[in-house]
């Protein structure tokens, strides 16, 4: 091997860590701006428990776009209860999800739904996504690795994405409005319970409200879960 090649390889080895570190720093800076936009670190970490309500629409195969209401109560780091109500073919469906550490319960109209490996994985990811939505853990908890995903558009607004990876959970990409620095979309790979296929789920945040100094989402659009379906057999 020539000295030129050796020198070139050496320079690449030296440059790569610095390049990755710069990318990580850029991602951290994006999250820090978002934390400030959402009310600041003190406000976001002051309350370890809370509740919120959302409304929006979700696309369901064979049923079209359905409006829903969602109520969530949580206690960080690993407890939450979600009640999701929607109307399907004239019938009201109420789905209740309870996560208490490693224990998971899912009911539809009072009937318990058996949990399998895929459903357990889905609920664990939901648990982690709730924690990440507070943003501060992303820069304080060393288990999260951040990288800049790139620029895109959400609802015709320019956004910048940050990819979040951590051991034992699916990668999550958070997109932030470049003008307001507010979280605009959450995207991650998950399992479709019906088909058992791996899909990309997108949740688009349409509106925020401010409570106790913290900006929390109010109107949520789940439609992209199906309309941007990119099924991939696991």
Q: Are the CB atoms for 183 and 150 separated by under 8 Å?
A: no
Look at residue 222 in the predicted model and tell me its pLDDT: 45
From edge to edge, which strands make up the β-sheet containing 111-112?
Answer: 111-112, 103-108, 91-100, 79-88, 64-75, 49-60, 214-221, 198-211, 183-191, 172-177, 157-165, 145-154
Could you give the CA distance from residue 199 to residue 16 in angstroms, rounded to a whole number? 32
Q: What is the pLDDT of residues 183-217, one digit of tens each?
A: 999 888 877 665 667 777 788 887 776 665 455 54
Structural domain span for residue 188: 3-227
Beta bridge partners of 85: 69, 94
Look at residue 227 in the predicted model and tell me its pLDDT: 29
Residue 232 is assigned to a structural domain of this protein: no
Q: How confident is the model at residue 21 (pLDDT cuts 50, 70, 90)?
A: very low
Helix (H, G, I), strand (E, B) or coil at 162: strand
**What is the number of domains present in the chain?**
1
Residue 233 is assigned to a structural domain of this protein: no
Residue 31 is assigned to a structural domain of this protein: yes
Q: Are the CB atoms for 86 and 58 separated by under 8 Å?
A: yes
Q: Are the CB atoms for 32 and 44 separated by under 8 Å?
A: no
Q: Are the CB atoms for 60 and 230 separated by under 8 Å?
A: no
Q: How far is CA 1 from the centre of its chain?
A: 48
Q: Are the CB atoms for 158 and 100 separated by under 8 Å?
A: no
Share of the chain above pLDDT 70, in %: 74
Residue 216 is assigned to a structural domain of this protein: yes
Look at residue 132 in the predicted model and tell me its pLDDT: 83
**CATH number of the domain within which 217 lies:** 2.50.20
Q: What is the pLDDT of residues 88-136, one digit of tens each?
A: 878 888 989 898 888 888 888 999 988 887 777 777 777 777 778 889 9
Residue 46 is assigned to a structural domain of this protein: yes
Sort strands 64-75 and 49-60 into parallel, antiparallel or unpaired. antiparallel
Residue 161 is assigned to a structural domain of this protein: yes
Could you give the CA distance from residue 141 to residue 20 in angstroms, rounded to a whole number? 19
Residue 212 is assigned to a structural domain of this protein: yes
* Position 229 pLDDT exceeds 70: no
Residue 38 is assigned to a structural domain of this protein: yes
Give the pTM. 0.70
Could you give the CA distance from residue 221 to residue 63 in angstroms, rounded to a whole number? 16
């Amino acid at each position: 091997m020539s000295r030129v090649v050796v020198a070139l390889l050496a320079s690449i080895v030296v440059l790569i860590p610095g390049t990755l570190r710069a990318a990580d720093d850029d991602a951290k800076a994006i999250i820090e701006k978002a934390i400030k936009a959402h009310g600041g670190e003190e406000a976001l970490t002051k309350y370890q428990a809370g509740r919120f309500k959302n409304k929006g629409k979700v696309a369901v195969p064979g049923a079209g776009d359905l409006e829903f209401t969602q109520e969530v109560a949580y206690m960080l780091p690993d407890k939450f209860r979600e009640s999701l109500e929607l109307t399907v073919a004239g019938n009201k469906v109420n789905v209740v999800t309870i996560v208490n550490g490693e224990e998971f319960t899912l009911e539809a109209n009072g009937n318990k739904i058996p949990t399998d490996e895929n459903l357990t994985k889905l609920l664990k990811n939901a648990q982690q996504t709730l924690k990440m939505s507070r943003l501060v853990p992303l820069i304080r908890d060393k288990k999260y690795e951040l990288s800049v995903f790139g620029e895109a558009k959400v609802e015709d607004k320019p956004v910048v994405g940050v990819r979040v990876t951590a051991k034992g959970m699916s990668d999550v990409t958070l997109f932030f409005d470049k003008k307001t620095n507010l979280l605009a979309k959450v995207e991650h790979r998950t399992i479709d319970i019906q088909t058992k296929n791996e899909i990309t789920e997108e949740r688009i945040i349409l509106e925020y409200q401010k409570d106790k100094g913290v900006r929390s989402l109010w109107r949520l659009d789940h439609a992209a879960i199906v309309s941007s379906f990119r099924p991939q057999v696991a």
